[in-house]
Amino acid sequence: MPDTIENLASPVEKFSKLRLLCVGDMMLDTFVYGKASRLSPEAPVPVLLKQREISMPGGAGNVVANLRSLSCHTAFAGVVGQDANGDYLRDCMARQGADCSMLLSLPGYPTSVKTRYVTGSQHMLRVDCEEKLCLPEAELQQLLSRIEASLPDTDMVLLSDYGKGLFDERFTPAIIAMSRQAGVPVIVDPKTTDYTIYRGATLVKPNRKEFEGVTGQSFDPKAPDFAETAVAAGRAVCRRYGVENLLVTLSEHGMLYIPGNEQEKYTWIPTEAQEVYDVSGAGDTSLAALGASMATGVSMKHAMKIANVAAGIVVGKFGTACVTCEELKRKLEHKDHADVLTADEAASLIAELRSQGKTIGFTNGCFDILHPGHLSSFERARDLCDVLFVGLNSDDSVRRLKGPTRPVNNQAARSAMVAALKAVNYVVIFEEDTALPLITKLKPDIIAKEGYPLERWPEGQLVVSYGGQAVELPRVEGFSTTSIVEKINQ
């Protein structure tokens, strides 16, 4: 099937009918955000003034979050501790709509937690609290029995191995064998370099470092013979360990599919990432999108492209993030101004982002001629939140507010310019004279704008009224659209 613009996005429409099972190492991802403006007097280290903290499912939990964000019916099988963090993870996944009936709580085992300390967009430190899992035989058999019972209603099994002890020589081969017996494909995101436990898997998906570890060779994607050398080494791995196919992710160099069948041609596609903010969880997003795409029955090349685009979207976000069906479809369809949404699209996306623990920021204006004052406001507003939505007055709204000679640039041009800025995540055009109706619909956590004290700022008052935060940004003096237009007309 040719990869036309139309059919590239068509599998995404089928995701809501899929039933996927993710088995893996669950952990809690915590992000502590703050400002670091001085060194400690006790040691030559920065002092982080904590401003906020958010937590969300990580590891295999992020695969589940991405599957649910992509509208797949999703079940999860794994182990957490019988502790507060384990309870929190179970609740998070249940709120996302995942089936957690195969999630075991193990007494005496601490739930894995990764805590990242962040200032601006810079990670300062990561602290891991974890213990290697050794699942007792009774619980092991209980988990395997539940997984086996779920397979008749499963389209694809994803094994998310983070090397925390779940995927040992007892557990992993049993899952793969029972999945094959049920006719359900298995994709593995590996951690170990000994693929013996993955024997029988439909596809194993190592990154470049992991691929070099299992092959015992080094590879340079820029070398002229890279593909041929890597494919030969990959097929040797398939023969040695009895896995059917490999998919090697190569960061900025894309993805390389290596079929174990030597009669089938390899596929190498370039990366889709444009601007990298954070690679946290990009592999999880890629696994989720790949598994869902393959489950729809599309070609491997087609599934790779979808997974590649999904990973490209998520590395443009900060923290452990997910990609939504709407985002993915827009990118796959190559729609102009992919970050310009309707109010309904924005409200739906915000609901999904909130389920991931994201803080939603908002600012608004006409933004007729962009100048340094606008850029400063966008950047300062973005520092206050995880995702920044910008409300943009429509052309008719600008004319009512500014007069018949405005706007200088129409709303298509203005929205494209604002959406292209690094600090802005999404733009929403509104027809009203004020952003109050849009804010009522979106309910952002934070609204930020320059030059408006709260007593003269109805939009800020509205956000405060439902428990949000209104932040008056400092004005950059000497810049205004009106003065720029007057100077042009002189």
Annotation marks residue 433 as catalytic: no
For residue 358, the model assigns a pLDDT of 81
Closest CA to 362 of 441, 253, 266: 441
With 90 as the cut, is the pLDDT of residue 459 above it?
A: yes
Same domain for 18 and 155: yes
CATH code: domain of residue 438: 3.40.50.620
Confidence of residue 369 (pLDDT cuts 50, 70, 90): confident
What is the enclosing helix (H) or strand (E) of 385? none
Q: Where are the alpha helices (DSSP H) in 104-136?
A: none
Same domain for 143 and 14: yes
Lowest pLDDT segment from 41-55, 142-156, 355-369 = 355-369
Name the maximum alpha-carbon separation found in the chain: 84
Q: Which of 284, 339, 368, 386 is catalytic?
A: 284
Q: Single out the residue in 291, 313, 332 at which a domain terminates.
A: 332
Summarised one tens digit per residue, pLDDT across range 233-276 is 999 999 999 999 999 999 888 899 999 998 899 999 877 544 44
Do 156 and 185 touch, CB atoms closer than 8 A?
yes
Same domain for 63 and 43: yes
Q: Single out the residue in 291, 312, 332 at which a domain terminates.
A: 332
The residue segments making up the domain with residue 411 are 340-489
Same domain for 104 and 19: yes
Q: Single out the residue in 315, 332, 349 at which a domain terminates.
A: 332
Listing DSSP states for 465-476 in one string gives HTT-EEEEEPP-
**pLDDT average, residue stretch 59-81:** 94
Same domain for 193 and 70: yes
CA-based radius of gyration for the chain = 25
Same domain for 248 and 181: yes
Strand (E) positions, 161-266? 186-189, 203-204, 245-249, 255-259
**pLDDT average, residue stretch 195-213:** 96
Same domain for 350 and 256: no
For residue 376, the model assigns a pLDDT of 86
SS3 assignment, position 171: helix
Same domain for 137 and 50: yes
With 90 as the cut, is the pLDDT of residue 167 above it?
A: yes
Summarised one tens digit per residue, pLDDT across range 1-13 is 344 434 678 888 8
The tally of domains found in the chain comes to 2
d(CA 103, CA 23): 9
- Pairing of β 267-269 and β 255-259: antiparallel
d(CA 55, CA 53): 7
List all residues 6 or more positions away from 68 whose beta carbon is below 8 Å from its beta carbon. Answer: 74, 96, 97, 98
Same domain for 323 and 358: no
CATH code: domain of residue 222: 3.40.1190.20
Q: Cα torsion for 73, 79, 84, 85, to the nearest 10°?
A: -70
List all residues 6 or more positions away from 344 whose beta carbon is below 8 Å from its beta carbon. Answer: none
Same domain for 289 and 231: yes
For residue 270, the model assigns a pLDDT of 79
Same domain for 127 and 94: yes
With 90 as the cut, is the pLDDT of residue 120 above it?
A: no
Same domain for 452 and 365: yes
**pLDDT average, residue stretch 316-321:** 58
* pTM > 0.95: no
d(CA 147, CA 157): 10
With 70 as the cut, is the pLDDT of residue 332 above it?
A: yes
